[in-house]
Amino acid sequence: MSKTEVASSASGKAALGDEIVGRIDQLSAISETPAHLARIFLSPEHRTAADLILSWMREAGMTARLDAIGNVCGRYEGDRPGLPCLMLGSHYDTVRDAGKWDGPLGLITAISCVADLNRRGRRLPFAVEVVGFADEEGVRFASTLLGSRAVAGTFVESALNSRDHAGISMRDAMVTFGLDPDHIGAAARTRRELHAYVELHIEQGPVLEENNLPVGVVTAIAGATRLAAKLTGMAGHAGTVPMAFRRDALAGAAECICMVEEFCKSDAAGLVGTVGYIDAMPGATNVIPGLASFTLDIRAPSDPHRKMALADIVRRIEAIAKRRNLVLQLDVTHENRTVPCAPWLKAQVADAVAAEGFGVFELPSGAGHDGMAMIDISDVAMLFVRCRGGISHNPAEHVELADADAGARVLLRLVENFRPRETSGAGKA
């Protein structure tokens, strides 16, 4: 890139942060309720958000479409039509009571980078595609990464039978949304169509802030296992059943939850365990709960570590259920292996960080990301952007304008300097 181009796009880039932050606010207004940001897969808010993002993609000079599972897909042609692409993106669904940056920052930044190329009439020797994944969080249906799995061609049909808390199946929800559940396969892409997948995302942790850095280069995405546990005891009268005779399902679940916390706290190698959801039936003050359901989310820096820890935790839950004479049902609802970022691609992310004048700092991702699905059709890499206090999955999630701008400048630099693996000197795939 010539000096003037860098200068002109640098001034253009200075506006990148403003455009990005403005759109983050615009998108965050599309929520199930105004008070608590939630944009859930196949909801009316999903549709409204998709329409807005597709309009941004078209304004940026991309052709844009909603794919067969509700992802938003934009394409900016290279210097010749039909070239393989560098795919950028992130997700645009949220957790409940979410922050507004988790997912949208990566998607909106990618769109702004393409808009900058388009403003300058810049065409590259590859296409640039931007994908907004429709369901990374897995809030509505137990399994996650539904959008990116559909793109990777690894969507499991049986997921269509899973039901949300209202008992609506994914299949029916897709039909209501206007999508054909038997057509999901049309969203799949092939390895041949992609040079690489790169995602910009907030760090969702405190490490960049502690190191006083706006951006970081991700080394790997930690794997995770999600489980659904159900304990069945005996409902009874809160006033008449002596404690020794009770089969209290909620008390059993509480003992399991405290055990998971203690077990993970005592692990010195980064094991984390979370119970994010619990439900007790019948849920009346004066009734001993006969049924308790809760979720488990177990993660560790390596797959063997996670699997060994999980086996131990399951044994302990089984022992608690047995001792309390409770019937246990424990199902794995989602499992993702740890995904390494490709060294050749990670190096280009690092080069772009350095070229924009920032220190190169590598760190793993404890959070899951769509790259865990995209790895099945492409090498992946990630660029992290600092978020205040490392807070995420919380309305207090925040990114400073300067850091949003820094992330955009690095991503744009990466795109303009991108060399496919075969020409990057990294040797044959």
- Residues of the shown chain interacting with ligand HGY in the complex, contacts defined by CB under 6 A: 136-137, 144, 367-368
Closest residue to Mn ion, judged by C-beta, is 102
DSSP string, 300-323: -SSHHHHHHHHHHHHHHHHHHHHH
Nearer CB in complex with ligand HGY: 221/345: 221
- Expressed in percent and rounded to 5, the helix, strand and coil fractions of the chain are 40, 20, 40
Nearer CB in complex with ligand HGY: 84/205: 205
> Contact at 8 Å (CB) between 209 and 390?
yes
Q: At its nearest, how many Å lie between Mn ion and the CB of residue 103?
A: 5
> Rounded distance, CA 209 to CA 120, Å?
34
| Residues in 83-102 at the binding interface with Mn ion, rule: CB under 5 A | 102
Nearer CB in complex with ligand HGY: 147/368: 368
Q: At its nearest, how many Å lie between ligand HGY and the CB of residue 274?
A: 9
Q: At its nearest, how many Å lie between ligand HGY and the CB of residue 136?
A: 5
Nearer CB in complex with Mn ion: 102/135: 102
Q: Which does 109 bind (CB under 5 to 8 A by kind): ligand HGY, Mn ion, none?
A: none
> Contact at 8 Å (CB) between 39 and 85?
no
Angle of the 401-417 helix axis to the 343-355 helix axis, nearest 10: 120
**Stated length of the chain:** 429
Q: Does 103 bind Mn ion (CB under 5 A)?
A: yes
Q: How many chain residues touch Mn ion (CB under 5 A)?
A: 2
Distance of CA 254 to the CA centre of its chain: 28
Coil/strand/helix, residue 254: helix
Q: At its nearest, how many Å lie between Mn ion and the CB of residue 368?
A: 8
Q: Does 104 bind Mn ion (CB under 5 A)?
A: no
Q: Which does 368 bind (CB under 5 to 8 A by kind): ligand HGY, Mn ion, none?
A: ligand HGY
Nearer CB in complex with ligand HGY: 296/367: 367
Q: At its nearest, how many Å lie between ligand HGY and the CB of residue 277?
A: 13
- 104 cis-preceded (ω within 30 degrees of 0): no
Distant-in-sequence, close-in-space partners of 426: CB < 8 Å, separation ≥ 6 = 343, 344, 347
Q: How far apart are the first and last CA of the chain?
A: 27
Q: At its nearest, how many Å lie between ligand HGY and the CB of residue 95?
A: 7
Nearer CB in complex with ligand HGY: 45/297: 297
> Which amino acid appears at position 98 of this protein?
A
Q: Which does 203 bind (CB under 5 to 8 A by kind): ligand HGY, Mn ion, none?
A: none
> Rounded distance, CA 62 to CA 161, Å?
35
Coil/strand/helix, residue 176: helix
Q: Which does 103 bind (CB under 5 to 8 A by kind): ligand HGY, Mn ion, none?
A: Mn ion
Q: At its nearest, how many Å lie between ligand HGY and the CB of residue 228?
A: 15
How far is residue 181 from each of residues 82, 187, 231, 404, measured CA to CA in Å?
28, 11, 33, 36
Q: Does 116 bind Mn ion (CB under 5 A)?
A: no
Q: At its nearest, how many Å lie between ligand HGY and the CB of residue 392?
A: 7
Nearer CB in complex with Mn ion: 317/380: 380
Nearer CB in complex with ligand HGY: 91/346: 91
Interaction site with Mn ion (CB under 5 A): 102-103
